[in-house]
């Protein structure tokens, strides 16, 4: 496999290698807190916010049912709220059609 590295004076080395998740190297327990461990949830979300894969990780978490832990910067409660809101919006569009 050929990989190209481009060096520019403005940005430094740029690699075509796939980005690595920010959670690699962290204790996995950080991302699976107890429901009331708000400090731990916020710490896990902070790791996610620094991740180049936060968006696809979050999309995957939203498309999967019964997924525990913090994924894509969202806790279980966050994902539940987003899914509930999307369901209400779909129901509203169906009712008004």
Residue 15's CB: how many other CB atoms inside 10 A?
10
Do the Cβ atoms of 21 and 53 come closer than 8 Å? yes
Provide mean pLDDT across the span 64-79. Answer: 93
Ranges 7-11, 23-27, 58-62, 68-72: which has the least confidence: 7-11
In 3D space, the residue among 79, 83, 74 whose CA is nearest the CA of residue 51 turns out to be 74
pTM for this one? 0.74
Cβ atoms of 51 and 57 closer than 8 Å = yes
> Percent of the chain scored above 70 by pLDDT?
80
* H helix intervals, the chain: 38-49, 54-62, 76-96
Q: Tens of pLDDT along 15-60? A: 678 899 999 999 999 999 987 899 999 999 999 999 999 999 999 9
């Amino acid at each position: 496999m050929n990989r190209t590295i481009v060096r520019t004076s403005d940005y430094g080395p740029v690699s075509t290698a796939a980005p690595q998740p920010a959670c690699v190297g962290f204790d996995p327990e950080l991302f699976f807190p107890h429901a009331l461990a708000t400090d731990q949830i916020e710490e896990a979300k902070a790791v996610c916010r620094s991740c180049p894969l936060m968006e696809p990780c979050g999309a995957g978490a939203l498309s999967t049912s019964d997924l525990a832990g913090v994924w894509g910067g969202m806790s279980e409660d966050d994902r539940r709220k987003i899914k509930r809101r999307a369901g209400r919006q779909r129901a509203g569009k169906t009712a008004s059609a």
